[in-house]
Structure 1
């Protein structure tokens, strides 16, 4: 951040910052020796820098702070910052008064009520933008990708009145008109009528998703809803409904056991078992495998519906696609999946990710729903390491950006809110940053070899592991693991460079095809 930007930052948030700069502060963070330096509190960051050579600066977004703890020893203060990515750092501050000032600033700035005051609206990128991530995964391109004459793009929700949490454009059966969609929407909670999630080309079977029907006590039927589903199935074909309402969505799930690093081994394992996190992982993988089995092995289409249709439902539909579709196991394909099922699909990231594991206040709408999905992806990744183009650092990156970021991608709860705040014009997309060759190389899996087959993960309890590189990332020394992967990367370097070139050429070809399509030189 430039001096001018920092000054502007401070002016915007002057009422919250009582002590903008403080010398003699000592920083304690995992796997680094203590560093004494100057602490700066800006409108969006806690920064600690030292004049000593070869010392790493701290740049911590206020948005990343989940909980703050204050302690006083004599006339000095100690702040412990518990972060949403499970990192815990400590600041030793020489003055009790200054300690209280810094604590007050961080508490206020980490819980800003206005989205427009958050860092993505102030961040200005300096890197070269090869593409606009806000335009990378539009519904129109998704319809082109599935290449089916049986489906169309409907703009029935163009003004977000039919369903406030659905996107403007939705893929629906071609034989169903918008009037039928409106009546089907009135039958479903939040207007979230059945829409296409995935088309399995091998059997022409589909996964659809929706919210629960509003049947009430009289078990009312809706002919328009039934007509929509029958059109999706096809003439003379049957399908299944997977009802996720009885499945625990993990909205209230916690993983606090992972942070009790001072406990004995037996007690730690007992707490891990009692928190039930791996049980949620197992249940979700089971349901996803059931959906994939219906689609691929039994040749049946599936409707996945839940209470609201934006928590457990995208967990199940997304994981089923990771199992079924090799494209979802590539970097760009996985980004498209997150956009399609979660961001455009209306998962309330602002509500669910506003706090994390350390926060002890009331958290009615908070829950690690998206993190649970990423955990399940990692479990499959562990079992089929060569079938994924991305490594687990890619999953870490997406997890952290969902909770705190300089990018606007995961802000707000749905597309309607994002459009109201003009995020595409006023913030930078995460995908704009990530999808550049120099950044992508950090997330490429050196063991990747394209696998076009359906992959069937083992879901027995003994097949599942704690995702320690995420939950225990700041508790277990990373050097040994980094050394092993460094050796692997050295061996695979030539192959990785070749794949980067292929990736760049593939993107260039896609751009040329898009341009030709727009000019009418080629057909869809």
Structure 2
């Protein structure tokens, strides 16, 4: 604590530097620094790095091909919310932080992590200075959690950054670390300001801390040393980082994205996958055949002479391939489509039963709304494709929220999920349900499920359903995708779901670039940033939340898990993959032609994750449909694409393998192969819905429940599946030496020959190999026999897992060797049948 006079500084300050004394700040702080706020020696009043932290510049982030560091600065990284424990609650922390009496800060508060904060043209990366030393202790635990090939645990892509707030220091006594916690020791000493993406602001005062709010509900908090450092060549490290973030996190052109600089070659492993990309005419033709839609035809823009004329092509914004009524000529259809927004006339997407079709249709353009002739003609063409000549128009604009409503609900929900201080968290927690209701997020989820159920019921009754929306590219995608999930079990598989997203969202051109805010176009002088916000809207997240609700209500009907859905949302902000980066296919092709962009589909999960991580994408209790042996065999053949990687898969079903020749749907059977008895009827009342805690709360350590939540249940299911796989293997080979421990625990017996070669009294003895001391690997000891299935988890120590597993922070515990055994054993059954109940020997 500084004890010198108000104007003279420390006693030795004058003798240390009289020459430049007029350049120094002579203010002396009487507030004791928090842990980590270390002062310099007694001869100066400047902030400086401790001697053991001066090599922070060596903690550089790992760079990808084409990635460059823009700015770096030493910084402290804080947890978004301090976890509550018995040693000290948030209240004691708050009182200690806000104390201005000069007493030391709360000792129970977890200290920040010191390291190097870097901004590149791809990410914001924080590398702890002593990462290697800490990694020796936590590496086995970190491996348990999802690890991305391109991103570390303390790294986020620039695409993921939504809001940047600066905590500006207005007085010398303001503590950077207090500002990082969202507080100040004295009133008026710090100010929180949002950096706008469209202009460079003049930041007055030193930046003590940065709060970064991410689109995937993550809150990052960094504090900076306030010093005149020659090591990094800047007097204000916070301003250096903030300026770099404003410049690179809000690109005004899409070609400024890192995807254009990352020229690393891509070698696809999706050849054996069952995911249909809907990038060719044959992909759509196969879907017509599968659905038995005989009254519809596929149109490719490349084969339409009108769309090849540069003077005429600019009048239409149709996708490269689309399906229209067979009774209408292509030229007439295109002529009618000009009256609709974005040229989105009636596009077929799905058929159910004999002839009931699901159709997407945009609204008339404002200039043509007075004359509904084009709309009536288009609806009559769709009606002719229905055998019963019936049609139901489901107007979504009046029934569902607008994209601006979805954005406002998302922002309110994110503010509720990203409190900045424990105090704010406690205030929100007292009235959490009321605040959650005011967000309207669950209300919008309820509406989407309701009208998706209505659309699916219409198709089940044999009536064609037309979904109409302003542009036919936003909420039409949500309702259409959900309706197909409710009706068709194929889309509940991993490959089927990915095909559904490709068809409804990518091929039919949902504007991901504008809705997810990948590009911030320049605004005119005096423009308002809210004008661009009207284009942003997380419609895709709304859809994923609806799918998650279905997973909770029908846990054995979906092959994928909530971890898969959460990972899919994170992948929307990975610019390396083009799936969610463009508005139209024309933009994607232009980027390939003009900028040599390397296209990588996000569905090639092996590019991002290891086989261990991909195992958590598969639901161990998924029930595949029975009776359709062909579809089941095809799905089993494609399981390796996610269970253990696609390198081991051989061949594919004839109905999925791409063909060199154009498929004519008329030459194939007209009957639909879609099962009619596997539809779902979800509960869509708000009372029946839940909060997607894994996606929204995973970055809040304060909400973590050790050994609780759905991950605990899922791991227990995998443990049962692992034991069943071991028993099945023992039965197949008539070798019972590898029976699981649960068998002996339940039977109250000891494993035969378990002490044959063991020497318990010497298992901790050291041995020397080439002069290096090595210790024997501890051998697993037999568990004490207990009764019931509760003893199965005796050696596993499932309580060490996070309730947000495989996300969140690692929790202390034993090495996860047994978890790897569970994953590898359970994946055998997942690859073969996708469910242990399908095993004839088990049933």
**Category of TM-score, reference length = shorter chain:** 0.7 to 0.9
Show structure 2 runs of 5+ residues with no match: 1-59, 84-109, 136-141, 143-152, 177-207, 227-234, 420-424, 520-527, 626-674, 726-825, 835-843
Q: Distance in 1 between matches of 2:327 and 2:443?
A: 42
Change (3 A) 1:125 1:392: farther
Change (3 A) 1:166 1:335: farther
Larger radius of gyration: 2
Q: Which of the numbers 434, 447, 451 marks the counterpart of 1:283?
A: 447
Q: Which of the numbers 422, 434, 456 marks the counterpart of 2:681?
A: 456
Q: Distance in 1 between matches of 2:254 and 2:610?
A: 31
Pair 1:62 & 2:181 matched: no
C-alpha contact (below 8 Å) 2:278/2:507 kept by paired residues:
no
Q: How does 1:25-64 map to 2 (within 5 A)?
A: 25-28=76-79, 34-50=112-128, 51-52=130-131, 53-55=133-135, 58-64=154-160
Pair 1:442 & 2:619 matched: no
Residue 8 of structure 1: CA displacement?
Answer: 5.0
Structure 1 segments of 4+ aligned residues over 4 angstroms from their partners = 2-8, 29-33, 124-128, 132-135, 156-160, 162-165, 221-224, 359-362, 434-437
Q: Distance in 2 between matches of 1:314 and 1:164?
A: 20
Q: Distance in 1 between matches of 2:346 and 2:396?
A: 14
Q: Which of the numbers 54, 74, 83 marks the counterpart of 1:23?
A: 74
Q: Distance in 2 between matches of 1:210 and 1:294?
A: 17
Residue 305 of structure 1: CA displacement?
Answer: 1.0
Q: How does 1:76-91 map to 2 (within 5 A)?
A: 76=176, 77-91=208-222
Q: Distance in 2 between matches of 1:199 and 1:345?
A: 17
SS of the residue 1:340 aligns to? helix
Q: Distance in 2 between matches of 1:417 and 1:478?
A: 45
Q: Which of the numbers 165, 180, 184 marks the counterpart of 2:336?
A: 184
Q: Which residue in the other structure is 1:472 paired with?
A: 697
**Please, what TM-score do these two structures have when normalized by structure 2?**
0.54
Q: How does 1:408-423 map to 2 (within 5 A)?
A: 408-422=578-592
C-alpha contact (below 8 Å) 1:243/1:305 kept by paired residues:
yes
SS of the residue 1:421 aligns to? helix
Root-mean-square deviation (CA, aligned residues, Å) is: 3.2
C-alpha contact (below 8 Å) 1:24/1:93 kept by paired residues:
yes
Q: Which residue in the other structure is 2:714 paired with?
A: 485
Of 278-287 and 148-157, more deviation after overlay is shown by 148-157
SS of the residue 1:290 aligns to? helix
**Please, what TM-score do these two structures have when normalized by structure 1?**
0.84
Q: Distance in 2 between matches of 1:8 and 1:340?
A: 32
Residue 292 of structure 1: CA displacement?
Answer: 0.5
Change (3 A) 1:222 1:27: closer
Q: Which residue in the other structure is 2:284 paired with?
A: 142
C-alpha contact (below 8 Å) 1:250/1:280 kept by paired residues:
no
Pair 1:120 & 2:263 matched: no
Residue 68 of structure 1: CA displacement?
Answer: 1.2
Q: Distance in 1 between matches of 2:548 and 2:390?
A: 33
C-alpha contact (below 8 Å) 1:441/1:500 kept by paired residues:
no
Q: Distance in 2 between matches of 1:456 and 1:318?
A: 15
Q: Which residue in the other structure is 1:9 paired with?
A: 67
Residue 426 of structure 1: CA displacement?
Answer: 1.8
Q: Distance in 2 between matches of 1:447 and 1:251?
A: 36
Q: Distance in 2 between matches of 1:21 and 1:325?
A: 51
Change (3 A) 1:217 1:440: same
C-alpha contact (below 8 Å) 2:263/2:597 kept by paired residues:
no
Pair 1:340 & 2:491 matched: no
SS of the residue 2:397 aligns to? helix
SS of the residue 2:287 aligns to? helix
Pair 1:350 & 2:513 matched: yes
Q: Which residue in the other structure is 2:96 paired with?
A: none
Change (3 A) 1:269 1:125: farther
Q: How does 1:110-509 map to 2 (within 5 A)?
A: 110-123=249-262, 129-131=268-270, 136-139=277-280, 140-147=282-289, 148=292, 149-156=294-301, 159=307, 161=313, 164-200=316-352, 202-214=353-365, 215-221=368-374, 224-234=377-387, 236-252=388-404, 253=406, 254-255=409-410, 256-257=412-413, 258-259=416-417, 260=419, 261-296=425-460, 298-354=461-517, 361-362=530-531, 363-422=533-592, 426-433=598-605, 438=611, 440-451=614-625, 453-475=678-700, 476-477=703-704, 479-480=706-707, 481=709, 482-493=711-722, 494=725, 495-500=826-831
Q: Distance in 1 between matches of 2:239 and 2:692?
A: 36
Residue 79 of structure 1: CA displacement?
Answer: 1.2
Q: Which residue in the other structure is 1:512 paired with?
A: none
SS of the residue 1:454 aligns to? coil
Of 487-496 and 328-337, more deviation after overlay is shown by 487-496
SS of the residue 2:213 aligns to? strand
Q: Which of the numbers 222, 225, 229 marks the counterpart of 1:94?
A: 225
Change (3 A) 1:290 1:162: farther
Change (3 A) 1:408 1:322: same
Q: Distance in 2 between matches of 1:135 and 1:121?
A: 25
Residue 248 of structure 1: CA displacement?
Answer: 3.2
C-alpha contact (below 8 Å) 1:181/1:224 kept by paired residues:
no
User: Deviation string for 1:80-100 (max 9, x for gaps)?
Assistant: 111110011111211361111
C-alpha contact (below 8 Å) 2:344/2:472 kept by paired residues:
yes
User: Deviation string for 1:55-79 (max 9, x for gaps)?
Assistant: 5752221111111111245474211
Q: Distance in 1 between matches of 2:688 and 2:392?
A: 28
Show structure 1 runs of 5+ residues with no match: 504-524
Residue 401 of structure 1: CA displacement?
Answer: 1.9
User: Deviation string for 1:15-66 (max 9, x for gaps)?
Assistant: xx3xx23335445356797321222222111222233323575222111111
C-alpha contact (below 8 Å) 1:180/1:228 kept by paired residues:
no
